[in-house]
């Protein structure tokens, strides 16, 4: 995740990263020793550099670390026992739900989940994740200088900065401390003025534009008559692959595993995530030209245009591979077997094969050929998810009005969840 700090790929070398990591370990150990926290509460899965270090130390010191894991259902989340065992919390309820009738399942699945399920069944246009449109809209704002100025001021004001805008010590000229590494400065001393901030984003945008152009030199048209497994690359750096993918944060390992364990006549269709090239994202820090070049040299790999319909690619595939992406959940609904390389909320569904080692990877071919979609099975899984998930306004990314809950109800629900988590922590 330190790649995020290295916007031009040359500003944060290994020794600087190592120094920063060790200093964070020391700082957090000192804070834990001094404050002696009974519990750590986080709004998101620990995936930023600082909070992941804290999470690991909490594991070491046996301190409960509470964090919600998002699901694709609006403001609905689960509370994992720990970062590396998420989906197993549904097992008992899932087993019982399989004994119920379709009517009982449909009556028991929460309405918001059922509406989302039906939208995706209607087609990708209606069921596309809401964050996709939001990110595309933001990308347009980053396309001009005025948008960057607006972002610079608003973003750091939202962090609670009391630094004045103008003057020698003002934010516009003197700059603000950010997590980007500035030339000839330690990361903790790096300050970015408005002009440096805008220059950084403009130069990063050019890098991404060049990378997209280079990617497009290798793309092939999908041939739906040939057998293939679809692997949609994850945007990086992000939580879905780090820490969500564990060792498969290196997505080349996923592709190598597929090639090694699938029948020789199967192709692997690799489609880049469109957000890798968005102007406001840090995608230029996690791809190099050679990544695409190396993939293109293998005759069994096809790089697919990012504008190709994901819906069509799923429907014509033999299976869909993912680390823990939304595409896995969508593929479940479209009746496709899912090969899961990450720590996902849907990993224990009967239509998902979780890859954890060489032994589980050897099951790929049999899993694909023997898979038969059963909607009752899927509804039973959704039923169990409905039992073990919570839905409340716990993050500023959700529209409070859309949930129709009061602040008092939110506080009461979160207090109850935190109490239950503390009581069950020792059993995890």
- Predicted local confidence at residue 157, as pLDDT: 63
Any idea what the Cα angle at residue 235 is, between residues 4 and 194, rounded to 5°?
40
DSSP 139-205: HHHTTSHHHHHHHHHHHHHHTT----SSSTTSTTTT-EE-SSPPTTS-GGG-EE-HHHHHHHHHHHH
What CATH number matches the domain at 220-381, 3.40.50.1970, 3.40.50.1820, 3.20.20.70, 3.40.50.2000? 3.40.50.2000
**Residue where the block lists tokens 């995706």:** 120
Any idea what the Cα angle at residue 427 is, between residues 426 and 428, rounded to 5°?
95
- Predicted local confidence at residue 176, as pLDDT: 65
pLDDT above 70 for 354? yes
- By three-state DSSP, how is residue 266 classified? coil
- Predicted local confidence at residue 124, as pLDDT: 63
Nearest one of 251, 258, 329 to 87, comparing CA atoms: 329
Q: Which of 28-32, 213-217, 412-416 is predicted with the least confidence, judged by mean pLDDT?
A: 412-416
- Predicted local confidence at residue 230, as pLDDT: 98
**Residue where the block lists tokens 């509460």:** 41
Give start-end residues of each CATH 3.40.50.2000 domain in the chain: 220-381
- Predicted local confidence at residue 186, as pLDDT: 74
pLDDT above 80 for 139? no
pLDDT band at 396 (very low <50, low <70, confident <90, very high): low
- Predicted local confidence at residue 106, as pLDDT: 95
- Predicted local confidence at residue 45, as pLDDT: 87
**Residues near 334 by Cβ (< 8 Å), separated by ≥ 6?**
120, 311, 314, 315
Q: pLDDT tens-digit profile of 118-134?
A: 998 887 666 666 666 66
Provide the CB-side half-sphere exposure for 229 (13 A, CA): 31
Identify the residue with better confidence: 396 or 74: 74
Average pLDDT over the chain reads 86
Residues 11-15 have a mean pLDDT of 87
- Highest-confidence segment of 5-9, 72-76, 163-167, 247-251: 247-251
- Predicted local confidence at residue 162, as pLDDT: 61
Q: Which of 50-59, 192-201, 217-226, 284-293 is predicted with the least confidence, judged by mean pLDDT?
A: 192-201
- Rounded to two decimals, the pTM is 0.88
Q: pLDDT tens-digit profile of 272-303?
A: 998 898 877 888 888 999 999 999 999 999 99
- Predicted local confidence at residue 146, as pLDDT: 72
pLDDT above 80 for 237? yes
Residues 66-89 have a mean pLDDT of 82
Q: Is the preceding omega at residue 120 within 30 degrees of 0, hence cis?
A: no
């Amino acid at each position: 995740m330190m790649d995020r700090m290295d916007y031009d790929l040359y500003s944060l070398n290994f020794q600087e990263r190592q120094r920063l990591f060790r200093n964070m370990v020391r700082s957090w150990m000192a804070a834990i020793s001094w404050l002696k926290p009974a519990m750590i509460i986080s709004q998101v899965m620990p995936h930023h550099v600082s909070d992941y270090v804290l999470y690991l130390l909490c594991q070491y010191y046996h301190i409960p670390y509470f964090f919600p894991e998002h699901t694709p259902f609006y403001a609905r989340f689960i509370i994992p026992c720990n970062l590396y065992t998420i989906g197993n919390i549904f097992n008992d309820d899932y087993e019982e739900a399989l004994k119920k009738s379709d009517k009982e399942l449909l009556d028991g699945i929460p309405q918001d989940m059922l509406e989302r399920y039906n939208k995706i069944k209607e087609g990708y246009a209606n069921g596309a994740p809401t964050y996709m449109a939001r990110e595309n809209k933001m990308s347009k704002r980053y396309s001009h200088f005025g948008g960057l100025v607006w972002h610079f001021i608003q973003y750091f004001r939202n962090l609670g900065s009391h630094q004045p805008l103008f003057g020698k010590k003002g934010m516009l000229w003197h700059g603000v401390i950010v997590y980007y590494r500035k030339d000839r400065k330690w990361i903790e001393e790096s300050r970015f003025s408005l002009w440096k901030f805008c220059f950084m984003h403009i130069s990063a945008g050019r890098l991404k534009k060049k990378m997209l152009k280079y990617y497009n030199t290798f793309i092939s048209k999908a041939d739906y008559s040939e057998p293939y497994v679809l692997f949609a690359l994850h945007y990086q750096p992000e939580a879905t692959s780090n820490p969500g993918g564990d060792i498969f944060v290196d997505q080349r390992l996923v592709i190598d595993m597929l090639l090694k364990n699938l029948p020789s006549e199967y192709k692997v269709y690799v489609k880049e995530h469109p957000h890798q090239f968005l102007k406001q994202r840090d995608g230029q820090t996690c791809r190099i030209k050679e990544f695409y070049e190396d993939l293109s040299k293998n005759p069994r790999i096809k790089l697919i245009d990012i504008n190709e319909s994901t819906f069509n690619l799923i429907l014509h595939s033999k299976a869909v591979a993912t680390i823990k992406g939304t595409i896995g959940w969508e593929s479940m609904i479209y009746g496709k077997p899912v090969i899961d390389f990450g720590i996902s909320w849907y990993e224990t569904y009967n239509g998902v094969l979780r890859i954890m080692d060489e032994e589980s990877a050897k099951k790929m071919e049999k899993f694909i050929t023997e898979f038969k979609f059963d909607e009752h099975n899927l509804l039973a899984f959704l039923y169990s998810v409905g039992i073990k998930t919570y839905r409340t306004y716990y993050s500023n990314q959700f529209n409070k009005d859309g949930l129709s809950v009061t602040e008092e109800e939110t506080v009461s629900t979160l207090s109850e969840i935190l109490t239950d988590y503390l009581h069950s922590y020792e059993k995890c």
